[in-house]
Amino acid sequence: MGLSAAHSHKHTSARDDVCYVERALEVLGGKWTILLIHELMGSPQRFGDLRRAIPEASAKMLTMRLRELETAGLLEREVFAEVPPHVEYRLTARGRALRDAIEELRKWGATNCQDCD
Give domain limits for the chain.
1-29, 31-112
Is the domain spanning 31-112 CATH 1.10.3720.10? The answer is no
The 3-state DSSP class for residue 95 equals helix
Task: Determine phi and psi for 76, rounding to 5 degrees.
Answer: -125, 150
The pLDDT value recorded for residue 71 is 94
The answer to whether the CB of 106 falls within 8 A of the CB of 57 is no
Please give the Cα distance from 117 to 115 (Å, whole number).
Answer: 6
Residues 34-60: pLDDT tens digits? Answer: 999 999 999 999 999 999 999 999 999
Beta bridge partners of 87: 79
The pLDDT value recorded for residue 1 is 42
Q: Which residues of the chain fall short of a pLDDT of 50?
A: 1-10
Q: Give the rounded distance of the alpha carbon of 57 from its chain centre.
A: 15
The pLDDT value recorded for residue 89 is 97
Q: What is the pTM of this model?
A: 0.77
| Structural element, H or E, at residue 105 | helix 99-112
The pLDDT value recorded for residue 8 is 43
